[in-house]
Structure 1
């Protein structure tokens, strides 16, 4: 019994360790995230670039992101990062594009963050760099290649475009962009107001229905929670019983 339990525990630990290692490897690259809001085509948003240090001995001292010219950003600002100097580079586009009916000949080409003397993203750490700008291009995703530079001159380019198959070894950061909202911007759905005749809309029934639905959902959640607790307690009791029986056998 004890040997069987020990083998089962060892298998579980190995499986968990393998899962952690595989997830760490998959996520250890420069990424672009929009946190706390939705990036929308035609809108302005904040993008956070998360930069993990993958070198065991050298720190990261520079990050450069390159903005696409076929889906350009006209305006971009950086958030200050203590110990780092940011530089936004604008320039003429190879081919002018039309954004919201306006011809754009110049846009943001790149942003570079350079560490001050004695500052770095050390091994085992990560840094975050934020930009805010727009308007976001009318495309489903914004691909933003990044170049990471380490102490000693090592350079890693995260510039592989996304694919439908397996993730490339060094994928470029990608921001997903939602389609434009409707004319009312998504406001007014499920809220009170006036109808087309000028009379007040009836929100009482909608309100009661919402409370009833919420109550039903809450009751279901409580039942499921109680079942989960019962199953957990049963499993705990079985485990304790098995341990006690094993101890008795050992003493015998």
Structure 2
């Protein structure tokens, strides 16, 4: 693949991911993982190594992107700090556990799990009636700690920020208004991604056949190119999110999840569709 095309793919992916992160409170791993997996396999890496590097590098991009998005949401009063910290504490632990399991699991299994998780989240959002919303919800600490761990586990296991799981949980189960669900999820992602990043670095430190400029399973070159556009675009996504009504945000989020789920589960390939 031509180097210029390779870089342009990464830059455009980073821009889209940054905007989606700010707009929907997701890390953007569900976009970066399939794109990076394609690029890593295109340069000759085996599928298992390619998927782990896609997970690890995506999480590394997600961290500064989520920091920028969380700052923008916090300035608009859309981050509930107490819940975000509780979710993040166990989210970090869950990220370590998920990444540890992912480092030794076949790529085909992880891709299918990734798709099922995204599809389940989308159907849950689309099938639920719009919930009774509490402007400042008072859930128990135990509930935040439990769901934080589950979100962090999915983050580490699948190289996503955890927002794919966290936004529906906060909005539908814990009764957060959609804008605060997105803002608080973005702050949670900062914690969740750290655990996964550290684990992927250590589990991949002695791996063989990695491309140049890799720190464990994290490829630093792809990180820099993706982050160059994802970080500034996150604030544009935040601005767009606060201009859209909550119901529209819910359906945009769900539609994106359905597409990514079908893509990762291989449905388009099975139907011979170029999507």
Q: Normalised by the shorter chain, which TM-score bucket?
A: under 0.3
Structure with bigger helix share is: 2
- TM-score of the superposed pair, with normalisation by structure 1: 0.24
Flag the structure with more relative contact order, 1 or 2, with Cα contacts below 8 A and sequence separation at least 6.
2
- TM-score of the superposed pair, with normalisation by structure 2: 0.22
Structure with bigger strand share is: 1
Q: Which structure has the larger Rg over C-alpha atoms?
A: 1
